[in-house]
A and B are shown apart, each in its own frame.
Chain A
Amino acid sequence: MPAGTYRPPVSLAPLLRIRPESAGLVARLSELLEQRELLLFLAWRDVQVRYRQTALGVAWALLQPLLSMLAFSVFFGGLARIPSDGLPYPLFAYCGLLPWQLFAFALNSSAASLTANERLVTKVYFPRLVLPLSSVLAGLVDFGIAFLLLLPIMGFYGVRPGPALLALPLLLLLALATAVAVGLGLGALNVRYRDVRHALPFLTQLWLFLTPIAYPASLVPERWRPLLGLNPMAGVVEGFRWALLGLPQPPGALLAVSAAVASLGLLAALLYFLRVERDFADVI
């Protein structure tokens, strides 16, 4: 602080009132908006730090989906002969793995974000939502890199996307909303119950099987298919294939159910998070 005379501004109403009860939803979301720089800084930090001191560096962002694609193609597509809606199986799998790995990363890192940043939580104030949100945001970089690899794979199989490609950002948003919803809920729960950390790998794996990544949604009878949408990631994965691989029929009902579930889940998780947020520093 530079020396010299500083005149504090005279304000009549307090700039800030601290009370036992927390501020309203709108006030807190607008505070989050004010702190968007911090959000970006923390996301940037996570990206910077992720591949430090690794030999392969950012190549991991490519290797992870690529190796998963190979494994899926050999075991599910090759040995188990799981159908793939008439698409080349590797492309089919990669298209599903792309949003899935974004989701899985976002889910795991946001659920762990509060306890991983314990020092920040106990030593400085900022809207706590910043932590899970920034770790979700950091996952987008890996997604972007993995997405670039999709283009040569599509070229190799001669597949062109149709106009449905325009829906891709919305599908991406749906994947992020789902990840944020679950990440916020589990992240807040993890502050009090560290059990979450142990349950998370199992949950992620189970969720992977519940999502039509290795298999197509068409394996489920038409009648029951919208039910599959109760898992919003099913809508996302099927939507990705439709948008990217030029499938004729949009998975309409499936997507509608997924979007509704994700929205409700996000709202519920947000309300829960904001209700318990104030106690984080005391119980973490």
Chain B
Amino acid sequence: MFSSVILIPAVLNGLMTGAVYALVALGLTLIYGVLHIINFAHGALLSAAMFAAFFAFRLLGLDPYVAAFLIAPLFFALGYGLQRFIIGPASHGDDRNMLLVTLGLAVVIENALLYAFRADTRTIDLPYAFETINVGFTFLAIPRLVGFAAVFVVALALWAIMNLTDTGKAIRAVAKERLGAQLSGIDVAHIYAMTFGLGTACVAIAACLLMPTFYVNPTVGNAFVLVAFTIVVLGGMGSVPGALIGGLVVGVVESLSGLFLGESLGQIGIFLIFIAVLLVRPTGLFGAKA
């Protein structure tokens, strides 16, 4: 049995890692909630955004946290364009086609990154990357604390967009009843693209939060997206609070199972809980209906 000297920091680390998982999952669940598709290109977009943050630092000297304000709108536009001009038209209105198109996009984006930047792993070195706050019983890394706080700000902003703006209301309307929304004069193609854009912007912010302490290579996104898929199902597909809580739970579970079962088996905990939730509550923790 581990002492609290290890257990408490491990839980805190799990929460901080989980927050970033949650942000990746947030984008995924948003897209699922409205478009009813699992976006397979999510991981590739995360890798692309991390490269964007990397080059913003290397070429423009922009700190990743500052670059987020540039990269997030850029990726919003990219996501909007992808859905409006590629995924939407190519899928001919069939959800199954949409799924395949995103899968194809993932392959294209990943290989384009590989072609442009090679498989080499890159990192950036920031003066504060090693900074820690001494909270008495452990050291908390500042970049991870910033990430943790930023995720809640983003979640709050997302909540505000969804509840206080006309676009947000339209998104919720389309998610609930597409035909009805269309009949009320909502441009569904536009709303689809807006949602995809918002999801992609979430991923871009996650990339900027990860970059100070993590590395980037063309396949780095996959490591996060597999976990994000689990979170989306765990939290309830399409549920924003579900993704947030699910992310934190998964972070802690991964951290603790890594501690008790060894790092190699760290993810077993996640998938055990995942199976248990599916057995007991198939709609996920916060899922209203299947």
Q: Do A and B come from one complex?
A: no
B residues bordering A, Cβ < 8 Å? none
List residues of A whose CB falls within 8 A of some B CB: none
